[in-house]
Chain A
């Protein structure tokens, strides 16, 4: 067992554990946010840089700090490691910068986005973002495309976390979708205009941290905070059949996988359960599902005013001096 101290809390973890997993073991506020890391997808993580932490001591043998901030999701724990997350102003500053970078090309169309309310980027910017933007240039734009019958890809909103690429790679038999092009022109796409029709392709919607991949059977039907999540199950030949049904009265608006408190699916479900079984009779309802994440949806009420923030107008263009 290896000893690790994160924000002055010490715990012991097995060898091969990453800093992020160790932090999740401790739990609470010291867990770094993760936009691209997904514990169930091999090779994910390290890309969004929102989980950067400061290592102030490498290990008992090597007492030096690392020269840079490290991605906690992909750095393995060493014995005697001391890590600073929310206690380090440097880390919080870097996280603020990452939020800013993620948002400069994001359309900020939350009012019409189906993901609003259960969006990781929304939560992240709510916690770490600035109230105004310093970006005055044009945002990059893509056309919306349908990848498959039931999935809409809205590339403008994508933060290129690569999670859906790993799902396509690891969960489905034939990989037809990946990242095309380079830099800020890179986009998720199918080559060439292929359709994703695998039985488990719907899981890309659940792993997407933002509203880039949405369920076409649910699009624009309701805001997520108006529908009630229920634990449901059915006997399915393809998957475990354990899912969450989002209901409005007696109607099932959509089916998703069951997500844990870090927004990760407990089990991947098949497309038949997800898209085709929208009748209450198809499912055995176990009871209401507790959503214990700290986002808008879990609050489900608006009495609690967190902080009044005033949205500043963009600064006026300064006229060139003579």
Chain B
């Protein structure tokens, strides 16, 4: 269970440079596909591997690639979504900071598979220093003949450009990202048409997450079937989990899918337990937009089966008692956390980041934030919880893009599992008016 695929050579000094990366077997996948495989073979290999998109939705990558409109006369584009802005998720930043060539290798292989000659890396604007790292890595790759015209003498041409965003969470949504890349206001597009037929500049486009593209190289090296044998069932391979919150060892860990959540939290190899010997209260396992779960439900499903870090196991029980793997932003809360304050904080984020294009999200996120702020500051009313659940259910599924859902789920789940805390806030305004009142448990 401690297999490392992406982070195998992370400890090697100088791995961010081309020469060291190449000496560790980097770019072998590029040479292999360009010289030995056809683009269909590469897509088939990825399909065999069972790789699922690591950006949050978990859509099978091979399937996504097969949707691209091959007959189109327009140029095709590959866009790497490096606009990682979900609170609690920082795996892509880590990957790009330390292993930029892993991403570039994956992008070359993927571009070849898709018949792409121009690829973009859309980097979150706040990652200023990473833009420098990526550009340096790209220059090295160009000068070593792995990018540009006639790569390795095979006649295949590819250019990769780094494009910084301007600081909007919504630009991580793939169609908003494309709008932003075209130089427009980052509003998500109305689908259909999907990017696979009309994406960047109205041309067929594939948008993939950094981690998804980075793992393409290793999959080609080891073979799709071997990769599929790692992990558990439909959740194949390994996943980067960025753990943070009240744990002893926050950081980015590569885990093999199927690792029990309990082991992940308490093992010294991973999170190392809850800090200050406190009890765990709740976990958001996949970045701030997935439902929060209380300690008992995150360790074991409602049926009493130990929960594993896979797409299927985490979502078992639906939204009633389950959650999602999402992007792997693992946030752990200890017993001192005030869930109401935390929920308000997340909602404030979504309110601030809503693009304002469609009405449920534009108005609903602001409404939820105001109500939650009122509850947290001791101005809540007894009907506010029902109101919040109602608003969340009316945003969910009625919006253009998934940001509406992402804003609604944390609120709905927090009230579902921690309703007593909300009720305590309403009943005891004199206590919650104390700044940093923390968990309500010490008052009950």
Which A residues have a C-beta under 8 Å from some C-beta of B? 45-50, 52, 67-69, 71, 74-76, 94, 97-98, 100-102, 104-105, 134-135, 137, 140, 159-160, 162, 178-179, 181-186, 315, 317-318, 320-321
Contacts and interface: CB of A to CB of B under 8 A. Distances in A.
A47 B359 contact: yes
Contact of B356 (A48, A67, A75, A184): A184
A301 B196 CA distance: 54
B209 interface: no
Given A98-B398, A101-B364, A102-B363, A76 B355 contact: no
A135 B366 CA distance: 11
8 contacts: A47-B400, A49-B358, A104-B363, A134-B387, A182-B352, A183-B352, A183-B365, A183-B366
Contacts of A160: 356-357, 359, 362
Interface in B353-379: 353-360, 362-367, 370-371, 374, 378
B402 to A, nearest CB: 11
Nearest to A104: B363
Closest A-B pairs by Cβ, 10 of them: A97-B394, A46-B190, A186-B356, A183-B354, A101-B363, A137-B370, A184-B366, A68-B397, A183-B356, A320-B429
A186 B378 CA distance: 29
B382 interface: yes
A66 B352 CA distance: 30
A47 B192 contact: no
Interface string B185-217: 100001010000000000000000000000000
B212 to A, nearest CB: 23
Contacts of A71: 190, 400
Nearest to B189: A46
A179 B192 CA distance: 23
Given A47-B400, A68-B397, A182 B364 contact: no
Contacts of A137: 367, 370-371, 374
Interface of B: 168, 170, 185, 190, 192, 351-360, 362-367, 370-371, 374, 378, 381-383, 387, 390, 394, 397-400, 426-429
SS of A interface (majority):
loop
B356 A101 contact: no
A182 B359 contact: no
A46 B358 contact: yes
B398 A69 contact: yes
B192 to A, nearest CB: 7
A247 B79 CA distance: 57
A184 B362 contact: yes
Given A179-B185, A183-B351, 7 more contacts: A49-B400, A75-B192, A160-B362, A162-B357, A183-B352, A183-B353, A184-B362
Contact of A101 (B352, B378, B394, B400): B394
Contact of B351 (A52, A101, A184): A184
Contacts of B371: 137
Given A49-B360, A69-B398, A101-B364, A74 B382 contact: no
Contacts of B428: 320
Nearest to A50: B359
Contacts of A69: 397-398
Q: Which one of A71, A94, A320 has the highest number of Cβ atoms from chain B below 10 Å of its Cβ?
A: A320
Contacts of A162: 357
A75 B192 CA distance: 7
Q: Which one of B353, B357, B363, B387 has the highest number of Cβ atoms from chain A below 10 Å of its Cβ?
A: B363
B137 to A, nearest CB: 32
A96 B256 CA distance: 46
Contacts of B426: 320
